[in-house]
Structure 1
Amino acid sequence: MKLRFALIQLCLFFFFSVPLLAQGDLFTNQETLDLRMKFSIKDMKKNTNDSTYVDQVIWYKNEAGEWEELEVEMRTRGNFRLNNCYYPPMRLKVKKKQRKGTPFENNKSLKLVMPCNRASNADSYVIKELICYKLFDEVSEYTFSTRMVRLHFENEDDKRGEQELIGFLIEDDDDVADRFNAQIVDDKKILGTLLEDSAALRHDLFQLMIGNTDFSGLYKHNQKVMQLDERTVVPLAYDFDMTGLVNPPYAQV
């Protein structure tokens, strides 16, 4: 297990070398972050939805290697993976008072991607999806920041106890917009021909490169649209699991 994580970190280091800064910025530091979570998956799916959160406690490992407690609000998110995967995709919210002085200080809301199922190779698909995000960082400046996490997760419905999983965190779209002094366009349909030429071309060629057809800018499916100024809108791509590069067993293309 330790060798597998070491190889994962080594590969990501060589492909996507990023300076490791102090643990004050969640996404500037690209070391794998250890998180511990414990909840009932059945209850989480039953009691939460796109607008309903439940109070939870998670733990993160600090620079000294010690576990620190963090109060969060948590809910399920998404559609396909929520209905077809054992581990649901999650969204976390952390109140300002709780995140002060933690790696999450600048991030109120985050997406958490977990493996789809409990198969022995499930982590590999998560890693390949994360690599898609990192590759897109090299293609476009308009991207979501991501960070790999090592999840020490205990499902209260399962007698097997704590499991070690690979996942990753995704920056909230409003935080991306803040980085560019822009805003996310959610209430309008934007034709592809209205997108900024270079950004749209880079986006579409990247989607072709990784073999992705599971997106739509017009209908905001796996793609956000960000308005930089009165005349300039650019695409923001996410959710790369159903691509040829990742090719998970549940993919429907």
Structure 2
Amino acid sequence: MLLAAAGLPTAVLAQQATPLFASEAPIQITIRGPINSIARSSERSTAAQPATMLLAGTDESYAIQLSPRGISRRRKEVCQFPPLRVDLTAPPAATSLFAGQRRLKLVTHCRSSQGFQQHTMLEYLSYRLFNLVTPMSFRARLATVNYLEPDGRIVTTRTGFFIEDIDDVAGRNGSSRARVGDRIASAQLDPKQAARVALFQYMIGNLDWSMRAGPQGAGCCHNSRLLTRAGSAFMPVPYDFDHSGLVDAPYATPPEIFRINSVRTRVYQGYCRHNDAALAAAVEFRSLRPAIEGEVARLPGLDDRTRRKAQAYLAGFFAEVATDQTLQSRVLKKCMG
């Protein structure tokens, strides 16, 4: 009933990925604009400012509107440098790397220390790992960003990454964005996708999300988007993994409702009605273990200590889901009703 009310199309054909997200190769860009002003005022204002973005190694230059975004990472006690929204003021040429892009999220370095660059890389890794689990996921593109003031003064050069737009995720998967209110019932979720999401979030130790509810007035869902196909249930697509145990950012604290002391402590948030689907999803995760571990081993920019820590954390997950018996006893028995 809710699907019909959403006014969904009867069929959506799958599309190819846009050029920016068709490759994993890191890119280098320069953003020239009032960078320091945007960073200083980000906590009190999300106003957009005119800027320019240039792609290294090409003659591609784009007029953009640059603005701070996000909630917690705009607060000064969390980040000195906010996440950014990049709005292209004119459609890029069809031959451009940014063809098809209009509005992009750019995850930034938060703070200037090398340690925070490690956290950025681990959040990027989280997106890459979920890409291995399912194409129903946000793609990300790593970028070295040179930030310049309008007069050309260098502010900083740091690694960040762009996140694919949800409509492009939908297009790749022959689906469309679901239009719902602040909350849906767990029975309205696609069991396979919901189970994959729940196990993935458990794997990376993330508790800062929901696949069926969002803040009042903000729509569903918290750090997730819902997609659907004609006549299908809702398929959650998660994002924002900086509060996960895998990333282990210094500012990350577990929600009080869980009564745990560290984001490194895993808590399963899957629904009991999806336990059969979770058993099937665990088979997928086990088969993906070599690919997941390979992704961690190959990721550029991680120092040895961070890489070993990430590998050990993921190994703990695979020990818990090693068999159906361990999955049932250590994970699924704690499912939500």
Cα contact 1:153–1:162 (8 A) shared by 2: yes
* 3-state SS of paired residue (1:85): coil
* 3-state SS of paired residue (1:26): helix
| Correspondence 1:92 to 2:86 | yes
Task: Select the structure that is richer in strand.
Answer: 1
Distance 2:68 2:179 in 1: 20
Residue 174 of structure 1 corresponds to which residue in structure 2?
167
| Correspondence 1:137 to 2:131 | yes
Deviation at 1:42, TM superposition (A): 5.0
Letter in 1 for 2:249: P
Deviates more, 1:35-44 or 1:102-111: 35-44
| Correspondence 1:109 to 2:110 | no
Letter in 2 for 1:109: R
Cα contact 2:63–2:90 (8 A) shared by 1: no
**TM value normalised by structure 1:** 0.80
Residue 146 of structure 1 corresponds to which residue in structure 2?
140
| Correspondence 1:70 to 2:70 | no
Deviations 1:138-172 (A, max 9, x none): 1122101111001112367xx8x342211001011
Deviation at 1:93, TM superposition (A): 1.9
Residue 54 of structure 1 corresponds to which residue in structure 2?
49
* 3-state SS of paired residue (2:60): strand
Deviation at 1:196, TM superposition (A): 0.5
**Where does the alignment leave 5 or more consecutive residues of structure 2 unmatched?**
1-17, 215-220, 255-337
Distance 1:225 1:215 in 2: 13
Cα contact 1:90–1:112 (8 A) shared by 2: yes
Distance 1:229 1:78 in 2: 31
Residue 236 of structure 1 corresponds to which residue in structure 2?
237
Which residue among 77, 80, 98 is the counterpart of 2:72?
80
Which residue among 181, 195, 199 is the counterpart of 2:189?
195
Letter in 2 for 1:168: F
Residue 118 of structure 1 corresponds to which residue in structure 2?
112
Distance 2:232 2:131 in 1: 24
Please provide the CA RMSD for this pair: 2.4
Deviation at 1:102, TM superposition (A): 1.5
Q: Which structure would you say has the larger Rg?
A: 2
Task: Select the structure that is richer in helix.
Answer: 2
Cα contact 2:33–2:52 (8 A) shared by 1: no
Distance 2:94 2:203 in 1: 40
Letter in 1 for 2:238: A
Structure 1 segments, 4+ long, off by >6 Å, are none
Distance 1:43 1:163 in 2: 14
| Correspondence 1:248 to 2:249 | yes
Deviations 1:96-134 (A, max 9, x none): 544443200022221100011011221111110011001
Aligned residues: 224
Classify 1:172/1:131 alpha carbon distance in 2 versus 1 (closer, same or farther; 3 Å).
same
Cα contact 1:130–1:168 (8 A) shared by 2: yes
